[in-house]
Amino acid sequence: MLTEIGKELRRLRIDRDEKMIEMAKKLDKSPAFISAVETGKKTPPPGIEDIVIRLYGLVGEAAHRVRMAADRSRNAFVLHPSNMLGRDTAGLMARRMNSLSSADLEEIRQILARGAKPNE
């Protein structure tokens, strides 16, 4: 079954009449790795979405779709807070993530989206 990022990568290949081996070469990955990410056997590595966006010249909604698809295809995230408040906040969020209501998560998402750049 294709993951969200798998669907976006496949869409890019189809739209550009590109084979998986060509995409893999562009991304400096093996075709087997790209296939494993697409099918959820491997999680998308950190930053792969930025590489895809840059190499394929994606902007606006297309870039946003790739970022969201990568996030939705991951089970874990690595944060590197630069100060104590950031570390405290990240730790609290990690501990509470699965006990927050949908409304709480939406409120947090909206707070974070306020400072986002247009294609994030």
Joined tokens for residue 62: 């297309």
Whole-number Å distance between alpha carbons of 106 and 120: 17
Whole-number Å distance between alpha carbons of 50 and 70: 10
Summarised one tens digit per residue, pLDDT across range 6-55 is: 999 999 999 999 999 999 999 999 999 999 999 999 999 989 999 999 99
Give the domain ranges of the chain: 4-72, 84-114
| pTM of the predicted protein model | 0.79
At the fourth CATH level, the homologous superfamily of domain 4-72 is lambda repressor-like DNA-binding domains (1.10.260.40)
